[in-house]
Amino acid sequence: MLVVLNDQEMARAEAAAEQRFEAFNRPGREHRDTMIHHRHPATLYHLNLKGAVAELAEAKMTGLAWSSEHGIGAADVGDYIEVRYATDQRNLIIRQAEFNKPANTEFVLVHGDTETHDDRAVTIVGWIRLHEAMIIGRPYRNGNANMIIVDQTLLYPYD
């Protein structure tokens, strides 16, 4: 399902990306993905922007609150939705740190607009509950990080 943010929504996403970028770059801060530290600052900002756009698009589509404006630690959208942006039409990744979330937590996969590369347009691919992902997902290890990868074809589509 294609969702396009309007100018006001895009400004909200940009503000959230800036806050995330600044928080990420605090001295001594460790990130769950150690490989991300080696990326150029402009790339890091853009990744934060894509994540914020994906979350806000999910909130817009579902009519639920976007938690980025309500503090860190909450679900991305509503009380139980975690949103994952993936480039290049990749699959859903759930990291080990998320394995202990409530079993009914829904993980949503969002892809960017690969035709126009417009940051404000995303496709919400589908969703799956954590307990289902833990059963059908493929375990994967990247360095010291364990994760589950769920093929996008196994996600529930939004109708």
133 backbone dihedrals φ, ψ, rounded to 5° = -60, -35
Name the residue among 79, 76, 78 with its Cα closest to residue 55: 76
Give kind and range of the element (H or E) at residue 119. Answer: none
- Round to whole Å and give the CA distance between 157 and 159: 6
The pLDDT value recorded for residue 40 is 56
- Round to whole Å and give the CA distance between 24 and 43: 13
User: Of the ranges 4-8, 34-38, 134-138, which one carries the lowest mean pLDDT score?
Assistant: 34-38
| Share above pLDDT 70 across residues of the chain, in percent, rounded to a whole number | 84
Buried b (16+ CB within 10 A) or exposed e, 70-103: eeeeebbbbebbbbbbbeeeebbbbeeebeeeee
Global pTM?
0.86
pLDDT single digits (tens) 108-137: 999 987 777 788 999 999 999 999 999 999
pLDDT at residue 30 is higher than 80? no
Name the residue among 103, 155, 92 with its Cα closest to residue 126: 155
Residue ranges per domain, the chain?
A: 2-154
